[in-house]
Amino acid sequence: MTDNVKTSDWWRSATIYQIYPRSFADSNGDGLGDLPGITQRLPELESLFLDAIWLSPFFTSPQKDAGYDVADYCDVDPRFGTLGDFDDLLAESHRLGMRVLIDLVPNHTSDQHEWFTAAVAAGPGSEERTHYLFRDGKGATGELPPNNWLSVFGGSAWERLTAPDGTPEQWYLHIFDVSQPDLDWTSEWVREQFREILRFWLRRGVDGFRVDVAHGLAKKEGLPDFTPPADPSSVATVEYPYWAQPGVHEIYRDWHTVLQEFGPDRVLCAEAWVEPLSDLANWVRPDEMQQAFNFTFLEAKWSAPAIRTAIETSIEAFDAVGAVATWVLSNHDVLRHASRLGMNPPPPQGTGVGPRTEPKPDEALGLRRARAETLMMLALPGGAYLYQGEELGLPEDTEIPDSARQDPSFFRQHSPLHYGRDGCRVPIPWEADAPGYGFSPNGASWLPQPKSWARFARDQQPAPQEAHEYATNTHTLSLYRRALELRRINQFGLGTLTWLDGYGDDALAFTVEAIRTITVISNLGTKPLRLPAGKPLVFSERPWLDRPLDELPPNTTIWMTDAD
C-alpha cells in the first residue's frame, strides 16, 4: 500500500468510492454485477487517487431491498460470487493501494434469515422471539398493530404473522420493508452475534464498515405512538422514538473496542440521517465511530449562504468532538447530484424522478452545478465519499418504466409520482460501443440502461497525457482525476479552511491551507463574478487558458493560488 494509506488515521482525509456491486460490472452475463466483475475493473479506478472503496451489500440475501435484507452476514450471495471471490477483490484492492469498507446492516435482517425463521417457528414467549420486536396486537383480538409507526418505505411498520393452522398471531416491527424485520438491540444475544460478524470480516482483512441505518438500532422503551411532522424542516427538533435514541451509542462504543482488537486503523462510518449536526457529531466521538455521512451538506440547496452554513456548521460540530467532517453528494439512495442540482426544488429524498415528473431536471445546468460543487467539496478538509458513476457525470435515469422498477419503496408508496431510488442505481457505462456499455458481456442489465448513455462511457473520457491539457479537456472524468490528484498531492483533506468575504452574496470563497494554500471560489449566482487579480489558476472545472482570468462564470468553481 502507499504511504498515504498506512497511517492509522488515514480516514481523516480519505477519498472513498462507493461501489454498488449489482450495477458496477457483471462478469457472467446474468445482468447483475458481481465481485469478479469488480475485481477485473478495479485497476480502472486507480487514476482517481482513491484511498478506499466501500462496497454496498453482497451478502446472501433474497434481494428484496437490493441486498439490504441480509439472510447470512458471513457469506456471499451466489449471485455476487463466493467468499473466495471476495478475498481476491480484497487482495487486488489492497495491491492497488485502496482499503476496503463493507456494508453492515444491523438494524434489521431479512425475513429469511435463520434467526427470524427460528423466531417465527418458536412462537410467542420464546427466547428466539426476543431477538426481534414481536408484540401482541391491540384491539379485542389483537387485530390492530401494536402502535401507529409507519414504514420508511410506506404503509404500516408492523406485519402480523399467521400461525400454521391459519390463526392470526403476533406482529413484528419492520421500519423498512415487510421483508426486513427489526432486530431488538436490547438483546445481549443479538449484540454478541454482531461482535462475531464484525470479527469474521475483520479477520478476513476488511478495513472497516459503513453502518446502515446507524441511527435506528435503539427504540424508545414502550414503543410509544408517534406521528412524524408533516413539515420536513421541523424534523431536527422532533424526537423520533426509533431514530437517534441515546441507547445506540453504547452499541458503537462496544464495536469500537472490537475494531481495536484488530489495530487502530479500522473504521466505522455511520449512515445516520440525524440533524442538527451537533447531534450527528455524537456518532463520531473518540470512542465511537470515525466517520458519519454529512447529509446536511448533501441536502443543502444551491445557494451560497446555505452551503456555507452547512460547511461551517459541519466543521464546527465535528471539530468539537475531535472528528473531521465527511463530505458526500451522491449515493444509492438519493437523486444523482448531476440531476438534483438541475431541479428547483428537487423532490424529497427517496421520491425519485420518473417519466411522469414535471418539470424534468435541467441536465446541462445540473451537470455544471454538480461539477462546481464537487470541485468545491474536494478542496474541503475532511473525508470525501464518491458514488460510482458521478465521475462520469452520470445523471439520474429518469425514464425507467414502472414495469422495470425494483425498489420496494416504489411498490409500498402507491403514489404515481413516487418512483423510489432505481434511477441512481442503473448499471454504469464503461465502453460506448460494447453491449450494455461494457457493464456485462452480453448487454444484460437488471435495470434498463438509457439509450443516451454512450456519451458518458469511461472510454469516451480519456485522460490528458500532460497536465496542461486539463485546461482544455472538458470531460467530467478528467475533472475528477485532476482534482483528486491535487487533493492527494496537497493533502487538502488535512488542511485548514478560512472563509474569504467580499465576493458578494452569491459566492462561496475560502482558502485551504495544506501543503500548498489554495483559494477556492464558487459562483452560485447568475452573473459572472470578478476574480482577484494576481492569483494564478491552479485548476478549474471549465477550460480557461484561452480566456483572461478576470471573471468566473455562474455555476463554476475555481482553485487559485498566490503567485510564487
Measured distance CA(89)–CA(350) in Å, rounded? 31
Count of other CB atoms within 10 angstroms of residue 63? 20
User: Which cell numbers in the block locate residue 51?
Assistant: 484511498
Task: State in angstroms the smallest separation of the CB of 353 from ligand GLC.
Answer: 17
Measured distance CA(175)–CA(149) in Å, rounded? 8
Task: State in angstroms the smallest separation of the CB of 198 from ligand GLC.
Answer: 18
Cis peptide before 359 (omega within 30 of 0): yes
Task: State in angstroms the smallest separation of the CB of 463 from ligand GLC.
Answer: 31
Task: State in angstroms the smallest separation of the CB of 349 from ligand GLC.
Answer: 10
Q: What is the DSSP letter of 424?
A: G
Write out the residues near ligand GLC by the rule CB under 6 A.
65, 68, 105, 176, 212-213, 271, 332-333
**Residue 561: burial class (beta carbons within 10 Å; 0-12, 13-18, 19+):** middle
Q: Which is nearer to ligand GLC, 47 or 349 (CB)?
A: 349
Q: Which is nearer to ligand GLC, 85 or 103 (CB)?
A: 103
Task: State in angstroms the smallest separation of the CB of 409 from ligand GLC.
Answer: 8
Which of 179, 183, 184, 212 minimizes the C-alpha distance to 110?
Answer: 179
Task: State in angstroms the smallest separation of the CB of 352 from ligand GLC.
Answer: 13
| Residue keyed to cell 471573471 | 551
CB-nearest residue to ligand GLC: 68
DSSP string, 373-419: HHHHHTTSSSEEEEETTGGGTPPP-----GGG---HHHHHH--TT--
Q: Which is nearer to ligand GLC, 181 or 429 (CB)?
A: 181
Q: Which is nearer to ligand GLC, 174 or 487 (CB)?
A: 174
User: Which cell numbers in the block locate residue 323?
Assistant: 472528528
Q: Which amino acid is at 322?
A: G
Task: State in angstroms the smallest separation of the CB of 376 from ligand GLC.
Answer: 25
Measured distance CA(40)–CA(27) in Å, rounded? 8
Task: State in angstroms the smallest separation of the CB of 243 from ligand GLC.
Answer: 12
Q: Which is nearer to ligand GLC, 131 or 368 (CB)?
A: 131
Task: State in angstroms the smallest separation of the CB of 67 from ligand GLC.
Answer: 9
* In contact, 140 and 150? CB cutoff 8 Å: no
* In contact, 292 and 327? CB cutoff 8 Å: no
Count of other CB atoms within 10 angstroms of residue 522? 27
3 state SS of 249: helix
* In contact, 74 and 193? CB cutoff 8 Å: no
Q: What is the DSSP letter of 459?
A: G
Q: Which is nearer to ligand GLC, 422 or 541 (CB)?
A: 422
Q: Which is nearer to ligand GLC, 333 or 373 (CB)?
A: 333
Active-site positions read 212, 261
Measured distance CA(221)–CA(284) in Å, rounded? 24
Longest dimension (CA), the chain: 83
* In contact, 66 and 59? CB cutoff 8 Å: no
Cα 215 to the center of its chain, rounded Å: 15
Strand partners, 18: 54, 387
3 state SS of 468: helix
Measured distance CA(103)–CA(90) in Å, rounded? 14
Q: Which is nearer to ligand GLC, 70 or 376 (CB)?
A: 70
Q: Which is nearer to ligand GLC, 260 or 415 (CB)?
A: 415
